[in-house]
Copies of this chain bind each other. A is one copy, B any other.
Amino acid sequence: MAATTRSLREHGYADLTIEKIGDEFEKSQSLIYHHYDGKDDLVIATLEFVLDRYSEQVTAQSVEDPKHSLETVVTQFVDDDWESRLAATLFELRAQAIHDEAYREHFTRSDDVFEQYLADLIADGIERGVFKECDPNATAATLVTLINGATVRRASTRDDAWLEGVRSEIDAYLEARVYRDEE
């Protein structure tokens, strides 16, 4: 899994071969061929592994401040610092879903896991009285869609003049719909 992640980071998806993954692997390459049917089989197993770890991590963590956690997620994905290279690789992998059912399955689950995490955060904030009575699922779906859109624009255009405006409008949206005014 680690060898696949390193290879994806270095070569991107299109130029990735199972041999290149093997070069990053400290044990025998034949072990890879024994367990995986090809590059896509290995890439999907890696994506699923990373998603499971992410899912366990966010489920296990205790939330101290739902507003801070929500802002952290937005900053993580809609920000100048977010690696264009990583955005491009994720976009390229997602594009495989058009023709490959296994990728489609993965990205359906990946959006669901991410959306459920955000919906739980928002429901938590409502329960604690720090968020307004909004619809956690609809709000989470909107944030996931915005983050998908930002990833795609980051990866497919030369321009990032849009980024700052989008970031400030997400904050304004959350202020209007989710955060309670602080006294």
Using a CB–CB cutoff of 8 Å, the interface residues on chain A facing chain B are 12, 14, 88, 91-92, 94-95, 97-99, 103-105, 107-108, 111-112, 115, 135, 137-139, 141-142, 144-150, 152-153, 155-159, 162-166, 168-170, 172-173, 176-177
Cα distance A142–B171 in the bound complex, in angstroms: 11
Complex copy number for this chain = 2
Chain A contact residues, majority secondary structure = helix
Quick check: A92 and B97 within 8 Å, CB to CB? Answer: no
Which chain B positions have C-beta within 8 A of A115? 162
Cα distance A98–B87 in the bound complex, in angstroms: 10
Quick check: B112 and A159 within 8 Å, CB to CB? Answer: yes
Cα distance A137–B165 in the bound complex, in angstroms: 7
Q: Take A146-B145, A149-B149 as given contacts and tell me if A168 and B97 are in contact as well, using a CB distance cutoff of 8 Å.
A: no
